[in-house]
A and B are shown apart, each in its own frame.
Chain A
Amino acid sequence: MSQIITQFPIVFEALNVGFLQTLKLFIITLVGAIPLGLVICLGSMSKIKPLKAITKVFVWIIRGTPLMIQLLIVYYFPGLALNNPVWGGGEEGRFLAASVSFIINYACYFSEIYRGGIQSIPVGQDEAGMVLGMTKSQTFFKVKLLQMVKKIVPPMSNEVITLVKDTSLSRIIALQEIIWAGQAFLKGSQGISGAIWPLFFTGIYYLIFSGILTVLFAKLEKKLDFFR
């Protein structure tokens, strides 16, 4: 116990640095995947048949294979197969590769959630807008958008909380996120080795972070509760 107390400041600082990287990956994934998901969603609902087919196959591949493989391929493929290591070797390169993989992967999941949201709006809402002389864009922005947002908040909250934990997959390409930081003390770092508790301790970060998100999403859901 006393050992943990002396180790704590060192570990805490290292985990904070790792968590910052986790947080950065989390935020950049959302910033990229939320709009990209909409683009993919529109593609998968397009009236242009080839575009629709290509999008559907793409979404199938991304959702049908593990994110871990996608990370490995995105990170290593350019360098090993194309002799063009676009990412560079350092932490920055690993972060870029991880960001690209996560954005693509999550955009595909989001696109399906959006599609569900769009298709769940009864056609009667469109028709009501039409007979009231509203334009298509007025009907979309003034009538359908908020109903869609309400529909997608619960599944999005699910995905976002999954993302918190999925960021740890980037450990596979040695991104220095929080698991990597905790594991370092198992192998030996800054004079501490064979310590398992830092790895346990990373769990606290995840729990607090996903707890905060759960509360925020519950608030958002409540805010949209005024209509049905």
Chain B
Amino acid sequence: MSILEINHIEKSFGQAHILRDISFEMEQGQTVAIIGSSGSGKTTLLRCINFLETPDSGTIRVNGDVILDAAVDKNLTDKEKRDRRLHFGMVFQSFNLFPQYTALENVTLARKLMAREREDYKANKKAINQEIDAIGEELLRQIGLYERKDYYPHQLSGGQQQRVAIARALALEPDILCFDEPTSALDPELTGEVLKVIRSLADKNMTMIIVTHEMAFARDVADKVIFMDEGVIVEMGDSNEVINNPKQERTKQFLSRYTNEGM
């Protein structure tokens, strides 16, 4: 059974038809890269999956359970959205770290707030928070920023901030981690450290969807590549196949722009 199944997603903003009949599925432990030029709808697709946008129609299934059926879930309450979107983690292009919290606090904040809903929270407050801190510290260790745990975001480089953002998303143990152009806001010399962290997650079989412009990275790390153009999936398949031997004319055209960039 697929961990994620997207069926016939449609989305318009006013007159603009952004997503047209988007369907795909992925398996546990897979990494899917979504490529395509700006305005092709890839970010909107990711935002629909994360409940930041509500599709006009279509369904989203996680492990076979329908978590969104646009036909019936038009007016989800915030609480319902919240429970459902926790299947997913999201890493933004612009990091969106919380500036007034340290790296560690950024990673642990949401989980600590969530722990307050536990019945035993009052009795074990201290132990629970210590446990969450330990989890946060372990995550920072994994991304190589344990030494910077008490730094505030503005004291970290862009690459370091994005790594903290990845740890923050991982802290909630999502089934599927989504990345929206995670390196697009970074100087070229900083993209490497972020891609390395994502690659290490792929090696650990984290299930991930990555919207990216890094073609070499998509080819090497992703199991599957989806090429989108003007709101439709033009081509989709094994990452090597799509990137090295695209079948569709539009895919070839798009990829030809990248061929001179050391692929």
Contact in complex: B86, A143 (CB < 8 Å): no
Contact in complex: B98, A124 (CB < 8 Å): no
Of B82, B98, B154, which is within 8 A of A133 by CB? B82
Residues from chain B with a CB closer than 8 A to the CB of A133 are: 82, 85-86, 110, 114, 172
* Residue A1, interface by CB 8 Å: no
Contact in complex: B172, A146 (CB < 8 Å): no
Contact in complex: A146, B114 (CB < 8 Å): no
Contact in complex: B172, A132 (CB < 8 Å): yes
Contact in complex: A227, B99 (CB < 8 Å): yes
Of A130, A142, A150, which is within 8 A of B85 by CB? A130
* Residue A54, interface by CB 8 Å: no
* Residue A193, interface by CB 8 Å: no
* Residue A158, interface by CB 8 Å: no
Contact in complex: B113, A146 (CB < 8 Å): no
Contact in complex: A125, B113 (CB < 8 Å): no
Contact in complex: B89, A147 (CB < 8 Å): no
Known contacts: A131-B52, A134-B110. The answer to whether A125 contacts B152 by CB under 8 A is no
Known contacts: A136-B78, A228-B154. The answer to whether A127 contacts B99 by CB under 8 A is no
Distance between Cα atoms of A58 and B128 in the complex (Å): 50
Task: Count chain A residues whose beta carbon lies closer than 8 angstroms to a beta carbon of B.
Answer: 22
Flag A181-206 by CB within 8 Å of B: 1 or 0 each. 00000000000000000000000000
Contact in complex: A130, B52 (CB < 8 Å): yes
Chain B stretch 91-140: residues in CB contact (< 8 A) with chain A: 92, 94, 96-101, 109-110, 113-114
* Residue A162, interface by CB 8 Å: no
Contact in complex: B96, A124 (CB < 8 Å): yes
- The SS class assigned to the A binding surface is helix
CB proximity of A215 to chain B, nearest CB, Å: 24
Of B50, B96, B98, B152, which is within 8 A of A226 by CB? B152
Residues from chain A with a CB closer than 8 A to the CB of B114 are: 133
Contact in complex: B52, A142 (CB < 8 Å): no
* Residue A138, interface by CB 8 Å: yes
Chain B stretch 40-56: residues in CB contact (< 8 A) with chain A: 50-52
Distance between Cα atoms of A125 and B94 in the complex (Å): 10
Which residue of chain B has its CB nearest to the CB of A136? B78
* Residue B88, interface by CB 8 Å: yes
Contact in complex: A128, B96 (CB < 8 Å): yes
Residues from chain A with a CB closer than 8 A to the CB of B109 are: 132, 134, 142
Task: Count chain B residues whose beta carbon lies closer than 8 angstroms to a beta carbon of A.
Answer: 30
Known contacts: A127-B92, A127-B96. The answer to whether A227 contacts B78 by CB under 8 A is no
* Residue B219, interface by CB 8 Å: no
Residues from chain B with a CB closer than 8 A to the CB of A147 are: 99-100
Which residue of chain B has its CB nearest to the CB of A228? B154
Distance between Cα atoms of A227 and B99 in the complex (Å): 6
Contact in complex: B99, A132 (CB < 8 Å): no
CB proximity of A220 to chain B, nearest CB, Å: 15
Distance between Cα atoms of A147 and B96 in the complex (Å): 13
Flag B21-33 by CB within 8 Å of A: 1 or 0 each. 0000000000000
Contact in complex: A122, B96 (CB < 8 Å): yes
Flag A127-165 by CB within 8 Å of B: 1 or 0 each. 111111111101000110011001000000000000000
Residues from chain A with a CB closer than 8 A to the CB of B85 are: 130-131, 133
Distance between Cα atoms of A227 and B156 in the complex (Å): 12
Distance between Cα atoms of A134 and B113 in the complex (Å): 8
Top 5 closest A-B pairs, CB basis?
Answer: A132-B110, A124-B96, A128-B96, A131-B90, A228-B154
> Residues of B with Cβ closer than 8 Å to A?
50-52, 78-79, 81-82, 85-86, 88-90, 92, 94, 96-101, 109-110, 113-114, 152-154, 168-169, 172
- Cβ contacts A to B, 25 pairs, < 8 Å: A122-B96, A124-B96, A125-B96, A127-B92, A127-B96, A128-B92, A128-B98, A130-B81, A131-B52, A131-B88, A131-B89, A131-B169, A132-B110, A132-B172, A133-B82, A133-B110, A134-B109, A135-B79, A143-B100, A146-B100, A147-B99, A227-B99, A227-B101, A227-B152, A228-B153
A127-B96, A132-B110, A133-B172 known; 12 new pairs, CB 8 Å cut-off, are A124-B94, A125-B96, A128-B97, A128-B98, A131-B52, A131-B90, A132-B172, A133-B110, A146-B100, A147-B99, A227-B99, A227-B154
